[in-house]
Amino acid sequence: MYAVIFEVKIKEEGKDQYLAIAAKLKEQLIQMDGFISIERFQSLVEEGKLLSLSYWESIESIEIWKQNLDHLQAQSEGRAKLFEDYRIRIADVVKDYTMETSDFS
């Protein structure tokens, strides 16, 4: 399993548009083979900073999503009009457990 960590600093005037684009893309995203889940968080420290955390079954699934035409258009629009800055990290999840599945007693 892989995690995609997308941190983005949104221009003040672009937040509503960004969230609308993200909601539209999510409709396609949840239909993708290899997609597991996504959540979005807002920074408590840095105003305007959001984090999207998605989980995927494979690197190949992430690459296919990255080349989705609507996603490519959203990336271009984000860089041109909505983002002050962004950072993307892709991480290999080496362990995944819950309270019920943990080894701790």
Residue 66: CATH number of its domain: 3.30.70.100
Domain with 83, as residue range(s), is: 2-92
CA distance 51 to 48: 10
Number of separate domains in the chain: 1
Query: What confidence tier does 105 reach under pLDDT thresholds 50, 70, 90?
Result: low
Q: What is the pLDDT of residues 57-99, one digit of tens each?
A: 999 999 999 888 888 888 888 899 999 999 999 999 998 888 8
Burial class (CB in 10 A: 0-12, 13-18, 19+), 17: middle
Cross-strand pairs, 7 = 51, 87
- Helix, strand, or coil here: 75? helix
Question: Interior CA angle at 31 toward 25 and 35, to 5°?
Answer: 90
DSSP code for 69:
H
pTM of the model: 0.84
Domain-embedded: residue 22:
yes
